[in-house]
Amino acid sequence: MKKLLFITLCITTFALSAIAGDSIAEARLARLHNFASRFSLGGYGEAVMTRNFYSDHINRYKMPENYAGESHGRFDLPHVVINLGFDFGKGWTLGSEIEFEHGGNGSAVEMDADESGEYEAEVEKGGEVNLEQVWIQKSFMPQLNVRMGEIIVPVGATNQYHMPTEFFTCYRPEGENTLFPCTWHQLGVSLWGRAGDWRYETLFLSGLNADQFGAQSFVHYGATSPYEFKIANTYATAVRIDNYSVKNLRIGLSGYYGTSLKNSLTRAAGARFAGKHGGLAIGAIDFTYDNHRNIVARGNFDYAHLSDADDITYFNQYSFATHKGQDGQPSKHQPVASTALCGNLEIGYDFFSLSPTLAQRGQKLFLFAHYEYYNSMASSTYKDAYQWCGKHRVAVGLNYYPMKQIVLKGEYSNRLMPASFNNEPSISLSVAYCGWFL
């Protein structure tokens, strides 16, 4: 990319020299070079192939005895991201991130021969296209920066560190990715900075939408909006603090609080909901240890409590049916827990560090082990009917880095389910990249 930019600028220089003379051309080239140097271009992406040795039938948890011994395979593009930035000068910068999840989506119009030549709109593929970040930042000093727009909410380990080179497994750690928005992004204002061994960030945001809460996903979809805008009847705050005092170790604490019950177009009304707010509190601790030679370890623990969970469940399951014209309301119509939690620990050893030649070339080969537990219905009136929401997951595998920006991954994993359900083993292979190109 830099070579292409340089060639383009050289051609421009020759053209300007012929027209206006060397001195004018050199001045214009300097301005062009200064303008181009303010751009930044980067991104990351993942391609995954998985064979799951369990059933994907919708009733596999209701009647597990009917679906033992089945398997299915999948190819996927979990995330392909383009990052664009620009430095306006005087401390003002622009950042943006466009993400294509699962290859993006698509539709087409075709003529149907079986329908007398009618034109029909067809959904060609699933997936999503999201503008995950677009913000303007004013930097006053390293200790004080203000960011405004669509920004990442850095609660938990995965939201803050979600690049494919920042976890060993082929997919992002399942616990945080299941329970919370991931990557969590919302419109808001962020104040952040770093001083010495400390980094802080505080955020002001709109609350999550309780209509989108569910049994298996907890509040994962609460930051999404089915409308052309994000509802902000209620508000929330988030905070994160990271410490780097111990050599090679980063420890982070993060938290969130906001209300959610009345953050929808159709608000909960009536005596049952008087004084009910659906307050969501999340607390998380995470760490990364990297000795920059051969050992990398990561871990996190997250705990979330949702007040008025039974009232939110009642509203989502029954109240919308009583509102005339609300049949198409995009609620999951599922119970939601009052408590959810997850924990994750992984460690890897770089065997190429034993070879001075391979280490000098910048190549790495990590053998890793991974364990996590997560439960979206840890405490709930409906807990007995959703015992399958509590899962242990173990994984072992390899990460090969031919260079710093590219990684090839392979893993065997198994979700260890409660006794009455079938375990869910799988084998996955993936290739991923991550870096700044310009």
Please give the helix or strand (H or E) that residue 64 lies within, else none: none
Instruction: Read off the pLDDT of each residue in 269-274 and give the average, rounded to a whole number.
Output: 79
- b vs e for 125-144, b when ≥16 Cβ sit within 10 Å of the residue's Cβ? eeeeebebbbbebeeeeeee
In sequence order, which residues have a C-beta less than 8 Å from that of residue 94 and are 6 or more positions away?
Answer: 85, 86, 88, 134, 135, 136, 137
* Co-location of 162 and 215 in the same domain: yes
Helix pair angle (2-20, 22-37), 10° resolution: 150
How does pLDDT run across 17-65, given as a tens digit for each residue?
555 556 776 777 777 777 778 999 999 999 999 999 999 999 999 999 9
* Co-location of 10 and 125 in the same domain: no
* Co-location of 25 and 137 in the same domain: no
In sequence order, which residues have a C-beta less than 8 Å from that of residue 287 and are 6 or more positions away?
Answer: 249, 250, 251, 252, 297, 298, 299, 300
* Co-location of 276 and 312 in the same domain: yes
How does pLDDT run across 69-99, given as a tens digit for each residue?
999 999 999 999 999 999 999 999 999 999 9
**pLDDT-derived band of residue 219, with 50, 70 and 90 as boundaries?**
very high
* Co-location of 281 and 409 in the same domain: yes
State whether residue 6 is helix, strand or coil: helix
State in Å, rounded, how far the first CA of the chain is from the last one: 7
* Co-location of 54 and 9 in the same domain: no
Q: Which two tokens stand for residue 2?
A: 């830099």
pTM of this prediction?
0.88
| Residue 281: CATH number of its domain | 2.40.160.10
- Strand 118-125 to 185-195 pairing: unpaired
* Co-location of 23 and 118 in the same domain: no
What is the number of domains present in the chain? 2
Q: What are the C-alpha distances in Å from 419 to residues 65, 312, 325, 412? A: 12, 30, 43, 21
**pLDDT-derived band of residue 324, with 50, 70 and 90 as boundaries?**
very low
Q: Is 113 or 371 the better-scoring residue by pLDDT? A: 371
Q: Which two tokens stand for residue 151?
A: 């920004």
Q: Which two tokens stand for residue 315?
A: 């509203």
Closest Cα partner for 159 from 131, 186, 127?
186
Domain that residue 5 falls in:
1-37
* Co-location of 387 and 303 in the same domain: yes
CA distance 184 to 280: 15
* Co-location of 362 and 416 in the same domain: yes
* Co-location of 172 and 238 in the same domain: yes
- The single-letter code of the amino acid at 411 is E
Place of tokens 């569910």: 214
How does pLDDT run across 132-179, given as a tens digit for each residue?
999 999 999 999 999 999 999 999 999 999 999 999 999 999 999 999
Q: Is the pLDDT of residue 408 over 70?
A: yes
* Per-residue three-class SS string for 262-317: CCCCCCCCCHHHCCCCCEEEEEEEEEEEECCCCEEEEEEEEEEEECCHHHHHHHHH
CA distance 41 to 84: 5
Cβ atoms of 341 and 378 closer than 8 Å:
yes
State whether residue 252 is helix, strand or coil: strand
User: What pLDDT was estimated at residue 20?
Assistant: 54
* Co-location of 93 and 7 in the same domain: no
Q: Which two tokens stand for residue 96?
A: 């943006």
* Co-location of 246 and 118 in the same domain: yes
Q: What is the mean pLDDT of the chain?
A: 88
Q: Is the pLDDT of residue 402 over 50?
A: yes
